[in-house]
Amino acid sequence: MGDDDVATNMAMVHIQESNNVSTHFLSCNGYNGNAFKDTIKKVSRKFVTEQHSTERIQKIQQATTHGSLFHATGGGHLTDDDIFLAAQKKVVETEIKELQRREESAGKMMDVERKAQEILVQTKSLQTYNTAELRVLLTYYQVKGLSGMKKDAMAEKWKEILQSQKDAPIFMKWSADDEKNLSKLTSKPIILADTALGRHQQTIKRQVINVVTKMSRRERKDLRKKLEKMDEDEEEEHSAIISVMPKVSGEKSTSKPVVQSTHDETERKNFEAINEAMM
């Protein structure tokens, strides 16, 4: 029946026997039992995307139903590294979109402020402002509902602002820190250490380092042996870092694998800290 476990093979046998008996019963009673006769076959699972590829992580990120998630993972378990990378990728891309929106809004308001200042230095009377100038001034003062507002209504609104003698509201400007943050988010690959799972693992590792200092000499010796055994058994590709780039508006994503053959610097530092604590 296949190479699955015994319970699965037994279930397949029972299903096949039930079909054989049922179709035979129909045939013996004058019906066309062969119309319902079939042979159960084990279908091998096929992945529609390559594991750890940007395409696969993107499909997992966009999955909104169990079916689409099953299709993206090929029925893989939900603790796969790609699941956590997809979740973090969505968080990062949301932050990028918000920063891009703020950058665009700040740029528009800077332009409006410049135009408004040019109009205000002319010290024109209320009656001499045209519709475009009134719209700029009211936008500068962040007046809502300007779309479709007539010139008379805008002039009346500007009159109220002049009488109130209030300064224009402060708008959020685009800072150097904002630019640095956006550049970092759009250029830095997302690795497992950036995800919720990665952060939890780092917390556990720091706790291990703290516990080591409270171990007895024998306990440290046993731990050192286990670490040395792990170093011997560890394969080179095990220390590769899986990463994915966030998708930025206007950029095309690649479906190439994103496994980098580099050692995790954080992992190395953690083991160094453990070794130092065990000395």
Residue with token string 């603790």: 79
Q: pLDDT digits over 74-111, tens only?
A: 777 777 888 899 999 999 999 999 999 999 999 999 99
What pTM was estimated for this model as a whole?
Answer: 0.60
Query: How far is the C-alpha of 83 from the C-alpha of 70, rounded, in Å?
Result: 12
Structure confidence by residue, pLDDT tens digits, 239-255: 556 778 888 776 655 44
d(CA 267, CA 204): 12
Q: Coil, strand or helix: which one is 260?
A: strand
Strand extents, DSSP E, 54-98: none
Report the pLDDT value the prediction gives residue 255, as an integer from 0 to 100. 44
Q: Which of 141, 213, 204, 205 lies closest to 171, judged by CA?
A: 141
- Does residue 19 surpass a pLDDT of 70? yes
pLDDT of residue 279: 60
Q: Is 259 helix (H, G, I), strand (E, B) or coil?
A: strand
Structure tokens at 194: 């950036």
Q: How confident is the model at residue 277 (pLDDT cuts 50, 70, 90)?
A: low
Q: How confident is the model at residue 269 (pLDDT cuts 50, 70, 90)?
A: low
8 A C-beta contact, residue 227 and residue 274: yes
Q: What is the average pLDDT value for the chain, to the nearest integer?
A: 82
Q: How many helices (H) and strands (E) does the chain have?
A: 10, 3
